[in-house]
Amino acid sequence: MTQFQGSHILSVNQLNLEAIQDIFAVATRMTPYALRQKRTTVLDGAILGNLFFEPSTRTRISFGCAFSLLGGKVNETVGMETSSLSKGESLYDTARVLSSYSDVIAMRHPQAFSVKEFAEGSRVPVINGGDGSNEHPTQALLDLFTIQKELASRGQDISGMHIAMVGDLKYGRTVHSLSRLLCMYKDVTFTLISPTELAMPDYVIDDIENAGHKITITDQLEGNLVQADILYLTRIQEERFPSQEEANKYRGKFRLNHNIYTKNCKSNTVIMHPLPRDSREQANELDNDLNSHPNLAIFRQADNGLLIRMALFALTLGVDSLLEQHECPVNWYSQKASI
Residue 77: per-residue pLDDT: 82
In the chain, where does DSSP find H-type helix?
Answer: 17-29, 31-34, 58-69, 91-98, 114-119, 137-152, 173-182, 202-210, 244-248, 258-264, 298-316
Residue 279 pLDDT level (bands cut at 50, 70, 90)? confident
Higher-confidence residue: 78 or 62? 62
Query: Does the pLDDT at position 321 exceed 90?
Result: yes
The residue among 139, 113, 76 whose CA lies nearest residue 273 is 139
Residue 78: per-residue pLDDT: 79
Over residues 331-337, the mean pLDDT reads: 81
Q: Report how far residue 126's alpha carbon sits from residue 124's, in angstroms, rounded to the nearest whole number.
A: 6
Cross-strand pairs, 214: 189
Structure confidence by residue, pLDDT tens digits, 136-158: 899 999 999 999 999 999 999 99
Would you say how long the chain is, in residues? 339
Residue 80: per-residue pLDDT: 57
Query: Does the pLDDT at position 237 exceed 80?
Result: no
How much of the chain, in percent, has pLDDT values that exceed 90? 73
122-133: string of b/e by CB count within 10 Å (b at 16+)? Answer: bebbbbbbbbbb
Query: Which secondary-structure segment (H or E) carries 110?
Result: none
- For the entire predicted model, the pTM comes to 0.92
Give φ, ψ of 86 to 5 degrees: -70, -15
The pLDDT mean for the chain works out to 91
31 phi-psi bin (left φ>0, alpha ψ -120 to 50, beta other): alpha
State the greatest distance between any 2 C-alpha atoms of the chain, in Å, as a whole number: 56
Over residues 214-242, the mean pLDDT reads: 87
Structure confidence by residue, pLDDT tens digits, 113-139: 999 999 999 999 999 999 987 888 999
Q: Report how far residue 174's alpha carbon sits from residue 146's, in angstroms, rounded to the nearest whole number.
A: 14
Residue 85 pLDDT level (bands cut at 50, 70, 90)? low
Q: Report how far residue 111's alpha carbon sits from residue 132's, in angstroms, rounded to the nearest whole number.
A: 4
Cross-strand pairs, 135: 131
C-alpha distances in Å from residue 216, one per residue of 35, 80, 200, 236, 262: 40, 39, 11, 21, 22
Q: Report how far residue 173's alpha carbon sits from residue 240's, in angstroms, rounded to the nearest whole number.
A: 11
Contact, 111 vs 151, CB < 8 A? no
281 phi-psi bin (left φ>0, alpha ψ -120 to 50, beta other): alpha
